[in-house]
Chains A and B, each alone.
Chain A
Amino acid sequence: MGGRKLARFLAQRIVKMVLVVLAIIVVNFLLIHAAPGDPASVIAGQSGAADAKFIAQLRQQFGLDRPLYEQLWIYVSGVVTGDLGISHRQQRTVASLILERLPATLLLTGAAFAFAIASGVTLGAMAARRVGTLTDSLITVLALGFYATPIFWVGLMLVLVFSVWLNWLPSFGMATIGVELHGMAALVDGARYLILPALTLGLFYTAVYARLTRASMLEVAMLDFVKTARAKGAPEGRILRRHILRNALLSVVTFAGIQAGQLIGGSILVETVFAWPGIGRLAFDALLARDYQLLLGVFLCTSVLVVLFNLVTDLLYAWIDPRVEAT
């Protein structure tokens, strides 16, 4: 796509993105108000730890005595300027809590995603190339298996095997506590802690991408232009790489965008199992403490992440597929 068209495409997408985020903020607002009971006590939590003063403060902050649309405006303008409320339990702003924990989650989901795509596409391509053979059946069965297993259970099983029984890898946390490590040692240490959680989150999606790649490649292999390539005398390897795989990857890219949301959602489970200090764990703690401000803050944050990721995949797709015209 030409430079100017790309710019226009980008601008359109960003506008759409902003609208979506605004809509999500409104949804957040509606959720608070749709819950049974006084929104202030919902936000303060029913744990009984909220004192009357805090509730009164909340009432004023949200303007609960004002008409609904005014409340909405207060809320939206607050969020847009970075004010996501205060976590009563932890006595800090939600925004600061989230920012602190976000990098850990990004690291985890990034690693899981990279692993899933790399292994999934490779396995799927292998299965498609050797369709009908033992290799194919093996990969298909494995993929089916991991697709059917709950993520948190995989995590627990991995802990059981590698941490409890074999004692090779640590079972919780992000780094060894009590030691100051630098440089390479710190990296290796961090990696040891990252392996099991990333594997847990990633294996499910490895299965997803493997199945998708295999199905996509089998479908593309039946298309006419593959026959044309054969008629030109091209060897099978070249046909697989230049013609089949490239076209099959289009659906993988599309799908990856859709899966992004689920990946981030899955991090709640993985971070809980491995006590990984990310926003997923934060959400779990918020759940336990009935700290709804924090919970909704995490919800908003994850939604924004998904929207951003979708933007990236859209751009990627537009770059790869020349048929996408930014009209």
Chain B
Amino acid sequence: MSLLNVENLTIALPPGGERPDAISGVGFTLDPGEILCLVGESGSGKSVAASAIMGLLPPGLAVRAGTIGFEGRDLLRLRPAELRALRGSRIGMIFQEPMTALNPLMRVEDQIAEVLEVHGRGAEARSRVTALLAAVNLPDPAAIARAYPHRLSGGQRQRVMIAMALALEPAIIIADEPTTALDVTTQMQILRLVRDIQQRRGTAVLFITHDFGVVAEIADRVAVMQHGRIVEEGAAGAVLNAPQHPYTRALIAAVPHRAARSRPAKERRKLLELVGVDKSYARGRQHFKAVDDAHLTIRQGETFGLVGESGSGKSTLARCVVNLVKPDGGDIRFDDTNLRLLSRRSWKPFRKRIQMVFQDPFASLNPRRRVGDIIADGPIAHGVPRAQAHGEARDLLRLVQLDAGALDRYPHEFSGGQRQRVGIARALAMRPELLIADEPVSALDVSVQAQILALLQDLKDRLGLTMLFITHDLRVAAQICDRIAVMQKGIIVEEGPTAEVFAAPRHAYTGMLLDSIPGRGWTPPEMERLAPSSPTSPANTA
């Protein structure tokens, strides 16, 4: 007997959207005490489906058909007051962004107490709040209860959200990408907490995610969504290891393998050498070290990975290398020149040799300039005649598998993956020797991610580039980096060939990072990837 029974749910988008319905004909069941993962990329409609259950659809989206059966009633036919009585007491929900999900003006205990008060059990509030905070493994529950949200970290806030959702012991918890905005170690803690809740309290969980690793880690059953429809559904083991639908197969094929590459060690010349680099920032009265005594060596021709969670200093270090951030101390030797001591003018020739690809495809291109101009900017700034620069821009577009028509279009006309290709073309226009890629695929859907990584790998081999690859995702690092360095709180704690570091980590933090990779125990089955029918067809380049 299913706890939740969604049948034929169809929800319309406002006119002018990319398709008529946000979701159409969606149906799935959730049994008591099981974890169902709803997986899909952005735009698949998974969040809409989840919001519909609680009646929390954003304005403009209307339910056109379907039923949602819960405890003998159709949730879509309930009156607002009845639905409200269910929210928080029989069905709880937690959201994606912990940093903005709590009212900044109310103490934590008041916000948790609110769930109880609203459902007529306010008298129990005082006694239960601390117990709830302890149940979600928060240290010092009494202090956290009295605190305001801005004092808590993202992981702590998410736990508070879970405590709020659990307060009235609901039958179901809907979790809408609750770990996407968290660090990988924190994510693992939350995932374990969710599994714990399921086992100890028998709560059913509907868990929305885009990450198959997370699915492998906690799901009992899986439903895969694409373009508003469910394309595949089944037990986790079956779907993960023997996917049937082409889209599922493509998604799983795109998951970066954990299998670390072992490359023969080549003694090439040192291209970039960092010695004792320091960078501190002042926050009010306190100083904190973003980068602390960093040493690393990158040899020509290799892909060097810099791995760490947010706040580890990896982006700051990368920006020190390109002079976007001025280090306080240390040497940055590029081919025997110390870059740190150069003036802005002396830096100019080095701009041709070191270039950068940025993380956010939506913010890294000037929205008011055409793609052709964006790519030609760099060479023109270094004296290349305009016509020649634009001609070369055409060639570069072909190199990154975009068609020449893109030259005259504006960034907003392209998808995230396509914009990232433009960003790569822009960097390559300078013909650099060293390419620094700052989390170039972190903001992309997983299928697009795979394409861009393949592109980077391909370009690197063809053009003989050296790459410094920054990422927080160890799986990605395993796939394309020859050597990696692990950073924690500004310090490089471990460094070495990827395969070695993965097989036998020496530092405790590295070990913890490796343990936190979701779905460690699952090896994605080998499948031939779907080959694109032509390199430049827009249907296949994302």
Are the C-beta atoms of A223 and B118 separated by less than 8 Å?
A: no
The reply to whether A231 and B54 form a contact with Cβ atoms under 8 Å apart is yes
> A246 contacts which chain B residues (CB < 8 A)?
103, 105
Whether, in the assembled complex, B248 has its beta carbon less than 8 Å from a beta carbon of chain A, the answer is: no
Asked if residues A228 and B86 are in contact (CB atoms below 8 Å), the reply is: no
Residue of B95, B105, B119, B148 near A228 (CB, 8 A) is B95
Chain A: CB-nearest residue to B151: A322
Task: Decide yes or no whether B93 CB sits under 8 A from chain A.
Answer: yes
- Enumerate chain A residues within 8 angstroms of B161, measured Cβ to Cβ: 228
Shortest CB distance A138–B (Å): 22
Evaluate contact between A233 and B101: CB separation under 8 angstroms.
no
Distance, CA A223 to CA B150, complexed state (A): 15
Given known A322-B148, A327-B285, contact A235–B101 (CB-CB < 8 A): no
Are the C-beta atoms of A231 and B93 separated by less than 8 Å?
Answer: yes
A residues 206-253 with Cβ under 8 Å of B? Answer: 223-225, 227-235, 238, 242-243, 246-247
**In the complex, A223→B103 CA distance in Å?**
9
Q: How far is the CB of B131 from chain A (nearest CB, A)?
A: 18
A230 touches B87 (CB 8 A): yes
Beyond A232-B118, A233-B115, is A323–B150 a contact (Cβ under 8 Å)?
yes
Instruction: Kindly state the separation between the CA atoms of A238 and B115 in the bound complex, as whole angstroms.
Output: 12
Complex-state Cα separation, A187 to B105, whole angstroms: 40
Contact B87 A233 (CB under 8 A): yes
- How many angstroms from the CA of A242 to the CA of B106 in the assembled complex? 9
Return chain A residues, CB-CB under 8 Å to B84: 233-235
Q: Is the CB of B87 within 8 A of A232?
A: yes
CB atoms of B56 and A225 under 8 A apart:
no
Contacts of A223 in B (CB 8 A): 100
Structural contact, B56 and A234, CB atoms closer than 8 A: no
Chain B proximity of A8: nearest CB distance (Å): 12
Q: For A247, what are the chain B residues with a Cβ–Cβ distance below 8 Å?
A: 103-105
Chain A residue at minimal CB-CB distance from B283: A327
When A and B form their complex, what is the total count of cross-chain residue pairs whose Cβ atoms lie within 8 Å? 75
Q: Which residue of A lies closest to B285 (CB)?
A: A327
> A321 an interface residue at 8 Å Cβ cutoff?
yes
Taken residue by residue from 50 to 89, chain B's Cβ proximity to chain A (1 for < 8 Å, 0 otherwise) reads as 0000101000000000000000000000000000111111
Q: Which residues of A contact B31 (CB under 8 A)?
A: none
Beyond A320-B105, A322-B150, is A233–B56 a contact (Cβ under 8 Å)? no
User: In the complex, what distance in Å separates the CA atom of A235 from the CA atom of B103?
Assistant: 16
> Is B164 an interface position by the 8 A CB rule?
yes
- B104 & A322 in contact (Cβ 8 Å cutoff): yes
Say if the beta carbon of B114 comes within 8 Å of chain A.
yes
Give the residue of B89, B95, B119 whose beta carbon is less than 8 angstroms from that of A224: B95
Q: Is the CB of A232 within 8 A of B115?
A: yes
Q: A224-B100, A227-B95, A322-B150 are in contact. Are A232 and B88 (CB under 8 A)?
A: yes
Number of interface residues of A (CB under 8 A): 23
Q: Is B473 an interface residue (CB 8 A)?
A: no
Q: Name the residue among B87, B93, B104, B284 with the largest chain A CB count within 10 angstroms.
A: B104
Given contacts A223-B100, A228-B161, A238-B118, contact A233 B86 (CB under 8 A): yes
Known: A224-B95, A225-B100, A322-B150. A231 touches B88 (CB 8 A): yes
Given A231-B54, A231-B93, A233-B89, answer yes or no on A323-B114 (Cβ-Cβ < 8 Å): no
Query: B266-285 interface mask toward A, CB cutoff 8 Å, 1 = contact, 0 = none?
Result: 00000000000000000011
Q: Which residues of chain A are within 8 angstroms of B102 by Cβ–Cβ distance?
A: 225, 228
Cβ distance B215 to chain A, nearest Cβ, rounded Å: 24
Given contacts A224-B95, A322-B150, contact A233 B103 (CB under 8 A): no
Minimum C-beta distance from A286 to chain B (A): 46
The interface residues of chain A lying within 8 Å CB-to-CB of B423 are none
Find chain A residues with CB under 8 A from B85 CB.
Answer: 233
Query: Given A228-B95, A323-B148, is A233 in contact with B88 using a C-beta cutoff of 8 Å?
Result: yes
Min Cβ gap A7→B in Å is: 17
Cross-interface CB contact of A225 among B103, B115, B284, cutoff 8 Å: B103
Nearest to A222 among chain B residues (CB) is: B58
Minimum C-beta distance from A145 to chain B (A):
29
- Which chain B residues numbered 138 to 188 have a C-beta less than 8 Å away from chain A? 148, 150, 161, 164-165
CA distance A321 to B105 in the complex (A): 6
Across the interface, do A231 and B104 meet the contact criterion of CB distance under 8 Å? no
Bound CA span A232–B102, Å:
12
Given the complex of chains A and B, what is the CA–CA distance between A57 and B462 in angstroms?
A: 89
User: In the complex, A74 Cα to B161 Cα: how many Å?
Assistant: 63
Q: Which chain B residues border A225 with CB–CB below 8 Å?
A: 100-104
Known: A233-B85, A322-B150. A228 touches B101 (CB 8 A): yes
**Chain B residues within 8 Å of A227, by CB:** 56, 95, 101
A246's closest neighbor in chain B, by CB? Answer: B105
Q: Which of A235, A321, A325, A327 contacts B118 (CB 8 A)?
A: A235
A321 to B148, CA, bound (A): 10
Chain B hits for A242, CB < 8 A: 103, 106, 114
Contacts of A243 in B (CB 8 A): 103
Quick check: is B97 within 8 A (CB to CB) of the other chain? yes
Instruction: Name the residue on B nearest A228 (C-beta).
Output: B101
Contacts of A230 in B (CB 8 A): 56, 87
Question: How many angstroms from the CA of A231 to the CA of B178 in the assembled complex?
Answer: 15
> Are the C-beta atoms of B92 and A231 separated by less than 8 Å?
yes
Residue from B87, B97, B100, B150 within 8 A of A231 (CB atoms)? B87
What is the CB-to-nearest-CB distance from B472 to chain A, in angstroms, rounded to a whole number? Answer: 23
Quote the shortest CB–CB distance from B148 to chain A (angstroms): 4
Min CB–CB distance A125 → chain B (angstroms) = 17
Which of A229, A321, A325 is B114 in contact with, Cβ under 8 Å? A229
Instruction: Give every chain A residue within 8 A of B284 (Cβ-Cβ).
Output: 325, 327
A260 to chain B, nearest CB (A): 24
Hey, what's the 0/1 contact readout for B89-121 against A, CB within 8 Å counting as 1?
Answer: 100110101001111111000000011001100
B97 partner residues in chain A, CB cutoff 8 A: 224
- Kindly report which residue of chain A lies nearest to residue B90, judged by CB atoms: A233
B101 contacts which chain A residues (CB < 8 A)? 224-225, 227-228
Closest Cβ of chain A: how far from B108's Cβ, in Å?
11
User: Which of B84, B103, B164: most chain A CB closer than 10 A?
Assistant: B103
Q: What residues on A are CB-neighbors of B105 within 8 Å?
A: 246-247, 320-322
Measured CA separation A21–B161 after assembly (Å): 48
Complex-state Cα separation, A247 to B102, whole angstroms: 12
B99: nearest chain-A partner, CB-CB: A224
For the complex, what is the distance from the CA of A104 to the CA of B119, rounded to whole Å?
Answer: 52
Given contacts A225-B100, A322-B150, contact A232 B106 (CB under 8 A): no
- B512–chain A nearest beta-carbon distance, Å: 30
- B136 to chain A minimum Cβ distance, whole angstroms, is 16
Chain B residue numbers with a CB within 8 Å of A233 are 84-89, 115, 118-119
CB distance from B304 to the nearest CB of A (A): 38
**A130 CB, min distance to chain B CBs, angstroms:** 14
Across the A-B interface, give the 3 residue pairs with the lowest CB-CB distance, nearest first. Answer: A233-B87, A233-B88, A327-B284
Instruction: Show 23 residue pairs from A and B whose CB-CB distance is below 8 angstroms, ordered by the A residue.
Output: A225-B102, A227-B101, A228-B102, A228-B103, A231-B87, A231-B92, A231-B165, A232-B88, A233-B86, A233-B89, A233-B118, A233-B119, A234-B88, A234-B118, A235-B118, A238-B118, A243-B103, A246-B105, A247-B104, A247-B105, A320-B105, A325-B284, A327-B284
Q: Known pairs A233-B118, A233-B119, A242-B114. 19 more at Cβ < 8 A? A: A224-B101, A225-B100, A225-B102, A225-B103, A227-B95, A227-B101, A228-B102, A228-B103, A228-B161, A231-B88, A232-B115, A232-B118, A233-B86, A233-B87, A242-B103, A242-B106, A247-B104, A320-B105, A322-B105
